[in-house]
Amino acid sequence: MKISIKLYMQGEELLVGACDVELLGKRFSEGELRLHVKKSFYDGHRVDEKALVAYLEEATIANLVGKRTVDCAIKHGFVNPECVIFIDGVPHAQMVKML
């Protein structure tokens, strides 16, 4: 499974940006919705599902794009499937942990 993940620390907060690697640099639009999978935000380490889950367990915020990435987050209980939006067929979800 090829997922690109980039981590950002802001004080005590850990933000995870993760996407299916083949979506890096692409733009999607549908109606009023726009999504740019910016390399500057998402392009980091290449990880598998197990590593993504470990990062999501530590994350307080996550921005997730792509079928493999979002499906993994749903499968492991980080994202409610009813909260996923699709932009030009590409799933996008965000996660925030309230501590």
pLDDT in tens, the chain (99 residues): 699 999 999 998 999 999 999 999 999 999 999 999 999 999 999 999 999 999 999 999 999 999 999 999 999 999 999 999 999 999 999 999 986
pTM score of the predicted model = 0.94
Task: Say what the pLDDT of residue 1 is.
Answer: 62
pLDDT of residue 98: 82
Number of separate domains in the chain: 1
Q: Answer for the pair 62, 78: CB distance below 8 angstroms, yes or no.
A: yes
Query: Residue 57: which residues within 8 A CB-CB, separation 6 or more?
Result: none
The pLDDT score that the predictor gives to residue 56 is 97
| Amino acid letter, 31 | G
Range of the domain at 72: 3-96
Q: What is the pLDDT of residue 30?
A: 95
Q: Among 68, 61, 21, 59, which residue's Cα sits nearest to residue 42?
A: 21
Do 6 and 44 meet the contact criterion of CB atoms below 8 Å apart? yes
